[in-house]
Amino acid sequence: MSAAEQTEIIIIGGGIAGAGAAFEMSRTSKVVVLERESHCGYHTTGRSAASFTENYGNGIIRRIVLASRAFLTEPPSGFCDYPLLSKRGMITVARADQLELLREDLEAAQALVPSIVAMTPAEAIARVPVLRADYLAGAYIEPHSMDIDVNGLHQGYLRGARACGARIVTNAGVKAIGRQGGQWRAETPAGTFLAPMLVNAAGAWGDQIAVMAGVRPIGLQPKRRTAFNIPAPAGVDISDWPLVNDIGAEFYFKPDAGQLFVSPADATPSAPMDAYAEDIDVAIGAERLERATTIEVQRVSRSWAGLRTFVADGSPVVGPDDEVPDFIWLVGQGGYGIKTSPALSRVCASLIAGKGFPDDVARQGVSMDDLTPHRLRGVEPKARQVAS
C-alpha cells in the first residue's frame, strides 16, 4: 500500500465551488482537490444557464453577487483569454394575473439594482418579437444582466490553482473519511490523503460527506432543474435577445450558441445523483414557452437536468462547522453557485486563513452570521473562525 499524501487542505469536489476555493487557498496553502468523476464540472457546474443577474435569489444571494461582479468583470491577469461576462440583459415578464407580483418585485429589485426599469409590453415585444401580445401584460428589464463563460471561469480557477501548486485529482471519489494523528484522512481509489483541514465542496453530496466525516448534516436538499435546447425560429437572428424570465418562476429562455435554452424552472426534490431530464418536465417547459410566445416546439435537440442544492433558508453555507471547526462547509449555493463563486471562494479562504470575513463582502451587507452553518442548528457557534 502506498503512503498517504500529506497536504494542508483537502477540498472534496471539483465543481465551481471546489475549484474557486482551490484558486483562493492555493495562494497561501498546499491544496489537494479530490473529484470523483473523470473530469471536474461533470455535475451541476456543467449544466447551468450561465446567467449573471443581480436580481435573482434571496437578499443575501443578491449581495454576494454584487460582491462577485468585480472579479468576473476584471479577473486577475492571465486568468483567461476571453472576457468572462458578455452582454445579455434580462426581461422579466408577467401575465395580467401576475401584475401585482411584478409590481412588488420591481420595487424590491430597484432598491438593490437601480438600473432595473419597467417596460411596456410593446417594448418587450420589440426586443423579443416572439412574445405574444395577448399573453404579456407587464415587464421590466435588468439591462446589465450578463452571460457567464462558465467553462472559462471554472478552468481559470483550476489553472490558477495548479499554477500555485495545487493538485487536482480526478477519479478520486472519497470513500471513507477518518482521523489520523489529529488530521483528516480521506481514502479514494486514487490514494489516501492527509490534511489538518477538510473543505466540503461536494454540492448535492455535501451531507453525505459530513456523515462520512462524523459531522452532523445540515439538511441539504438537492432539487432537480430541467433545461433543453430547441432550434431558433427559422430565419430569425436571436443572438441579441435578452434572457426572458417569467415573474412566477414558471419558465425562462435565452439564446444559447445559436439555439434557444429553455427551462420550466422546476425544483423537484431529489436524492444526490447524476440527474437527467424527465420527459414530462421537458413537455411542461415546451407548453409554457408556446403559451407565452409564438414559437412552436417541433424538436428538442438536447435536454438535461442538474441538481440545485439548498438549505432551509436558501442562503449558501460557508465556514467552519460549529462542532468540528476543522471541517469547512462550502455548499448550498442553490441556483446561484456560478455567479457567487468569486465572493464565496474568498470568504471561505479568508476564514480558513484566520483573516476573518472579507471587508468588501461585508460592505455589501453580508455577514458571517448569514453564511455560517450554525444558523441552521439554532446553536451558538463554538468557533466562527479557524486559526491558520
Ligand X SMILES: Cc1cc2nc3c(=O)[nH]c(=O)nc-3n(C[C@H](O)[C@H](O)[C@H](O)COP(=O)(O)OP(=O)(O)OC[C@H]3O[C@@H](n4cnc5c(N)ncnc54)[C@H](O)[C@@H]3O)c2cc1C
Residues that bind ligand X in the complex, under the rule CB under 6 A: 12-18, 34-37, 42-45, 47-51, 173-174, 201-205, 209, 225, 227, 263, 306, 308, 333-339
Helix (H, G, I), strand (E, B) or coil at 70: helix
34 vs 247, beta carbon nearer ligand X? 34
Residue placing its CB nearer to ligand X in the complex, 43 or 63: 43
* Helix intervals (H) in 182-301: 206-212, 279-292
The alpha carbons of the chain give a radius of gyration, in whole angstroms, of 21
- Find the shortest distance in angstroms from Cβ 108 to ligand X: 20
Supply the minimum distance, in Å, between the C-beta of residue 373 and ligand X: 15
Q: Are 374 and 329 in contact (CB under 8 A)?
A: no
CB of 375 to ligand X, least distance (A): 19
* Distance in Å, CB of 127 to ligand X, minimum: 20
Of 55 and 138, CB closest to ligand X: 55
Q: Tell me how far, at minimum, the Cβ of 96 lies from ligand X, in Å.
A: 28
| Cβ distance to ligand X smaller for residue 5 or 37 | 37
SS3 83: coil
DSSP 179-202: EETTEEEEEETTEEEEESEEEE--
For ligand X, the closer CB: 110 or 270: 270
Considering the complex, what minimum distance in angstroms separates the CB of residue 377 from ligand X? 21
Q: Which is nearer to ligand X, 65 or 125 (CB)?
A: 65
Q: How far apart are CA 297 and CA 350, in angstroms?
A: 48
The H-or-E segment that residue 268 falls in is strand 268-269
**If we measure between CA atoms, which residue out of 303, 335, 325 comes closest to residue 374?**
325
Distance of CA 367 to the CA centre of its chain: 19
